[in-house]
Amino acid sequence: MCYLSAFDRVSFHIPFLSVQDFAREAGRPEFNSLHCSGATQDTILNGLAQALLPALANPQRACQLFLEQIGLAILVHLTQTYGGLHFPADQKGTLAAWQEERATEFLAAHVAGDFSLDILAGTCQLSRSYFSKAFKQSFGKTPYRWLLEYRVGRAKELLRSDMPISQVALECGFSDQSHLTRVFSMILGETPGQWRRALRSPITSMACPNL
Query: Do 109 and 66 share a domain, yes or no?
Result: no
Query: Do 108 and 133 share a domain, yes or no?
Result: yes
What span, in angstroms and rounded, lies between the C-alpha atoms of 191 and 188? 8
Task: Give the type of residue at 86.
Answer: H
Query: Domain limits at 175?
Result: 149-207
Residues 88-93: contacts with CB under 8 Å, at least 24 apart:
91/27, 92/133, 92/134, 92/137, 93/134, 93/137
Distant-in-sequence, close-in-space partners of 188: CB < 8 Å, separation ≥ 6: 152, 195
Does residue 34 sit within a domain? no
What span, in angstroms and rounded, lies between the C-alpha atoms of 131 and 65? 13
Domains of the chain: total: 3
Does residue 19 sit within a domain? yes
The structure's pTM equals: 0.70
Task: Give the type of residue at 148.
Answer: L
Query: Do 114 and 158 share a domain, yes or no?
Result: no
Query: Do 69 and 22 share a domain, yes or no?
Result: yes
Does residue 63 sit within a domain? yes
Instruction: List per-block mean pLDDT (blocks of 10 residues) for the chain, which spans 211 residues.
Output: 59 88 77 79 90 85 88 90 73 81 92 88 93 89 91 92 95 92 92 91 50 36
Give, for 149, the enclosing helix (H) or strand (E). helix 143-159
